[in-house]
Amino acid sequence: MRIASFLGLAATACVLWVSQAHAQRVQFPTKLPLNSATAPSGWGSSYPVAQYPATGGYAAPPASASPYPGSTYAAPPVASPAAPPPGATYGVNPAYQAPNYAAPGYSYPPGVAPGYAPSGPTATFQGTITAPPAVGWDPYATPGVQAPALLPADPYLPGAPHWPCPPGGGYMQTMQRFMDQFGVDYTWMPGNGPEELGLHEADLSATFAIPFLHNPHTPLLITPGFATTWWNGPSPPHPPNPEFPSRFYAAYLDSAWNPQITPVLGGELAARIGVYSDFRHVTVDSIRYQGKGYVSLSISPNMTVKAGVQYLDRQHIKLLPAGGLIWTPNADTRFAIVFPDPKLAWRLHRIGNADWWFYGRGEYGGDSWTIEGPGGAIETDYNDFRVAIGLESDNPGRLAGYAEVGYSFEREIFQNGAATMRPNSTVFVGAGLFY
């Protein structure tokens, strides 16, 4: 019985000794230091630190610790990570330290830190031009965070990015409205005597802009119009003074195009056909053709030279040379020193979007009609020179107008190829409204 007990105690002691010996050899897994410069065996080139940059860096060697609190047995020391190279600091990813600042496996050039930018599919215009993303719209945002945009990158919408249109707006912003202008002009010259000739003249017209040659900046301008002239005098009529009917009429259709071939070279072209008569005797001679043509050359940003001709189709003067200089020394001054219609203008004040200008101008005035006479139609010209000063309001797209006072001189009535009357010079007033 004593022998069995002794053997049992001996066996128990052996088991306890063996367990303690094994406890000294058992190692529990320890956490690897972040971004260690040396990969554990078995990882090879696929070590995560080399392929996927992460936060952290070289860590200080961990202190030895016992696996069991209060135990007298200490775990074997864990191998410290490789020492950082000279110049490296703890806590910093070695992939982003000098001298390369780039993670292994990336193609960033030496000395350039990698940057990350959002990327995604982009639309192309005709396969060559890449459209910029719409302002304020993120196609990769979380659904429901922002309101969807309706055609956000459409360049033809007002307010859309200016691509591919020139600065200043999209296509719809640069197009002119179909009815470009509607207006009326009125002129009054007093006169009621043997050597005097008074008149009232009203001209109603509307201008329509039609896109031409795929360029919204230089449309074709079509202007139908109707004018009426009421005569007063000479009184009493006596030879050689003519006897005028009380009213002359003009119904016309005008077309104009102002091409800009290059930023330097441009032009102005206009043609008109109309019926000018008292409408009591209309003949082939009542149909008149008029026109003008200029070539303009911009010799500097604020100076342009123009040269051309005006075809008047009157008895006395058929053709006039035309041209001169347009000079804008500043934004408040415009000088159009052009024969036969010069004009000098100075901006006085701006009220809202309307600019108010004071101007002085000149004009070769008058027109030609056929009227009923004793022996048939009589071709009749009225010619004069006019100078005037006035005020005008320039408000594109809104109601604008002018008012002026002037002087008419060198007046003449020309009938059937000969001057029949030279009325006295007189003052006149004029006004106009346009929308």
Residue 107 is given by DSSP the state -
The rounded mean pLDDT for the chain is 73
DSSP letter at 198 equals E
Task: Break the chain into its structural domains and give their ranges.
Answer: 32-110, 179-434
Q: What six digits make up the tokens of 157? A: 């919408």
The model's pTM? 0.59
pLDDT in tens, 278-318: 988 888 989 999 999 999 999 999 999 999 999 999 988 89
- The mean per-residue pLDDT over the stretch 59-86 comes to 51
Residue 79, Cβ neighbours under 10 Å: how many? 10
Q: What is the DSSP letter of 405?
A: E
Written as one string, the DSSP assignment of 209-239 is EEEETTEEEEEEEEEEEEEEEEEE--SS--T
The predicted model gives 168-197 an average pLDDT of 74
∠ CA 77-79-81 to the nearest 5 degrees? 140
Across 111-120, 333-342, 346-355, 412-421, least confident range:
111-120
Phi, psi dihedrals of residue 316, rounded to the nearest 5°: -75, -45
Is 229 within 8 Å of 204 (Cβ atoms)? no
Q: Are 191 and 222 in contact (CB under 8 A)?
A: no
Q: How confident is the model at residue 141 (pLDDT cuts 50, 70, 90)?
A: low
CATH superfamily entry for domain 179-434:
monomeric porin ompg (2.40.160.40)
Please, are residues 378 and 372 in contact by the beta-carbon 8 Å criterion? yes
Phi, psi (degrees; rounded to nearest 5) at 220: -85, 125
What does R_g of the chain's alpha carbons equal in angstroms? Answer: 47
Is residue 246 packed enough to be buried (19+ CB in 10 Å), middle (13-18) or exposed (0-12)? Answer: exposed
Per-residue pLDDT tens for 187-218? 999 987 778 889 999 999 999 999 888 777 78
Task: Using the predicted structure, report yes or no on whether residue 171 has a pLDDT greater than 70.
Answer: no
Alpha carbon separation from 351 to 154, 219, 287, 398, 404 (Å, rounded):
35, 29, 44, 13, 20
